[in-house]
Amino acid sequence: RWEGDQNFMPVLAETHILPQALADLWARLQPEFAAV
């Protein structure tokens, strides 16, 4: 990568990526789904 290079997600969608394992995400969300 060169100086001033940007990723496409923040540039095009004004979004940032937060890396997280799917198993960890499911462990956090599953109790909320169970409550519905």
Domain ranges in the chain? 1-36
Cα–Cα distance for residue pair 11/17, rounded to 1 Å:
12
Taking every pair of Cα atoms in the chain, the longest distance, rounded to a whole number of angstroms, is 48
Residue 29, pLDDT score: 95
Residue 1, pLDDT score: 62
Residue 31, pLDDT score: 96
Cα–Cα distance for residue pair 26/15, rounded to 1 Å:
21
pLDDT tens for the chain, 36 residues: list them.
Answer: 677 777 778 888 878 788 899 999 999 999 999 999
